[in-house]
Chain A
Amino acid sequence: MTTASTESDQAQWDFEQRLERLQAIVSRLEEENVPLEEGVALFKEGSELAQQCRRQLQEAKHQVEIYAQGVLEEFDPEQGGRGGDAETAS
């Protein structure tokens, strides 16, 4: 199972990592008797992770990039799509 990481690490986590950690915590709490103190810590961490996951989904935005002359650039579909429905490369 995933070991608990430091808080600074977790702040950088993406949705996947958070959900994975939440799932690992649930499995641990479901499968074995955890010492009380550790259990409290795990439950607290799990609740926070669920909260963060939901917030991440609310704020979720795909990052869109495009290759332009072999270089990756941010892509704005409204700009890119200005040419109507032409099926041509820029």
Chain B
Amino acid sequence: MQHVFSVQELTQAVKGVVEGQFPLVWVRGQVSNLSRPGSGHIYFTLKDELAQLKVVWFKGNQWQTPALESLHNGQEIVCAGRLSVYPPQGTYQLIAEWVQDQGIGRLQAAFEALKQKMEAKGYFAQDRKRPLPPHPQRVAVVTAPQGAAVRDFLRLAGERGRPAAIRIYPSLMQGEGAEDNVIGALEQVQLDEWAEVVVITRGGGSLEDLWTFNTEAVAEAVAHFPLPTVAAIGHERDVTIVDLIADSRAATPSHAAQLVWPLRQELVQEVDEWEMRLDKAWMVQWRHAQRRFAELEKGLGWISPRRRLQRMDKECHRLGHALVRTGRRFVTQQESRAHDSSEALLHRVRRHFGRTATERLEHAGRRLLHCRSNHFNAVAHRLEIQTSALAHLNPKAPLRHGFSLVSRVDTGELVTSAAQVAPEDFLQVQTGDGAYRVRATAGDTAASSGQETET
């Protein structure tokens, strides 16, 4: 006879088998019938197309995991836990110990893995970042032409920069085929050799939406792109691998336009500054020319003959005047000095002798004059007497009476002795009215007759 189990017995037997067979399992499925009662335990059903599994996530097992807050119906998750049988309900269920969003978990892990790989290759290094061209004239934009990103980018670009050309390289930016599309667009940019900088932009989205920019192929394409790259993928909080690799990372598509071009007003200011420098430089040039002209004009004046004559004339006048002035000054000075001296003398005399003394002086002067004339008369008388006496003493006076003066012609000495004369000597005989020469003969004989007579 077959053993008949009680319900409890059977349930316990199943429980033993199930729990023994599946101590810890990983199971994947979609959340449904999610319930969060006040107890803090979480109940839901994990299902796929063909089966359902009840799951209990007790409060004691709810470790800090992102899935705890975000768990919602329809979500694909992966659960880890023990399979258990619940006898009161006659059901089996999974006692969850770990819950993770399936997509996020996979993508997150892949993101982290790629990030580490790229970092190891040095793709995030700051010294690898190339500066953007200061005033790009040709900008390539890899984006979806129907997206909001390109509109935002172009709107901002319209207020910025010098007139530039923007070329849009259309591409899928998410979903199936986006990866190849983006790489293809980048290749086209490279092939065209037209752009100075490339902007890769798209709007915000979920991690899955942005996934294209976390793939290794796209990351490598950006890392090896020959031109400076600007990445504006999603919103500020969305960070993709491409954002990290690009030379510049913009928070939003609008921000990308700001990074690429300066505000137009700043350019107007730049032009203004150049114009001011132009004005200043020209003023310097102009002044220099003017100064040179003035110098040349002056120089020309100096070498003109008329100016030279005028200058000399002027100089003559100046010297003449100076001469006259100096002469006058000299005369005046002398006059005044003589006047001063005579005044001083008179003053001193008066002071010394007083008035009566002056009178005495004048009297003495008169007496002196008188004395002088007396004295002069006496002297004149004596002079007459002396003159007459002198006349008697004139050696030539006896000659008038026949005496002669004889002197040697050669020496001129008077002959006072016969011894002074030798024969043949010439002698001069001076008479009262003339002279003649004689030649001496021997002895004391008479001299031969005169040869010549002087009158």
Contacts and interface: CB of A to CB of B under 8 A. Distances in A.
Nearest to A29: B281
Interface in A47-86: 47, 50, 53-54, 56-57, 60-68, 72, 75, 77-78, 80-86
A50 B281 CA distance: 15
A48 to B, nearest CB: 10
Given A57-B267, A82-B146, A63 B170 contact: no
Interface string B266-284: 0110111011011001101
Nearest to B165: A63
Contacts of A9: none
Interface residues of A, number: 47
B163 interface: yes
Interface string B253-293: 00000000000100110111011011001101110110000
Contact of B289 (A19, A39, A42): A39
Interface centre among A15, A16, A39, A89 (most CB of B within 10 A): A89
A54 to B, nearest CB: 5
Given A23-B274, A75-B145, A67 B168 contact: yes
B209 interface: yes
Interface string B144-155: 111111110011
Contacts of A15: 162-163
A89 B62 CA distance: 44
Contact of B285 (A39, A54, A68): A39
Contact of B168 (A46, A66, A85): A66
A46 B188 contact: no
Contact of B148 (A26, A46, A84): A84
A36 interface: yes
A16 B144 CA distance: 30
A33 interface: yes
Contacts of B144: 86-89
A81 B148 contact: yes
B158 interface: yes
Contact of A80 (B146, B188, B205, B267): B146
B38 to A, nearest CB: 41
B166 interface: yes
Contacts of B267: 57
Nearest to B268: A57
A29 B285 contact: yes
B151 A77 contact: yes
Given A50-B272, A60-B163, 9 more contacts: A15-B162, A26-B281, A29-B285, A42-B282, A43-B282, A46-B282, A54-B272, A60-B264, A83-B146
Interface of A: 14-16, 19, 22-23, 25-26, 29-30, 33-34, 36, 39, 42-43, 46-47, 50, 53-54, 56-57, 60-68, 72, 75, 77-78, 80-90
9 contacts: A19-B271, A57-B267, A62-B163, A63-B164, A64-B165, A81-B150, A82-B146, A87-B178, A88-B146
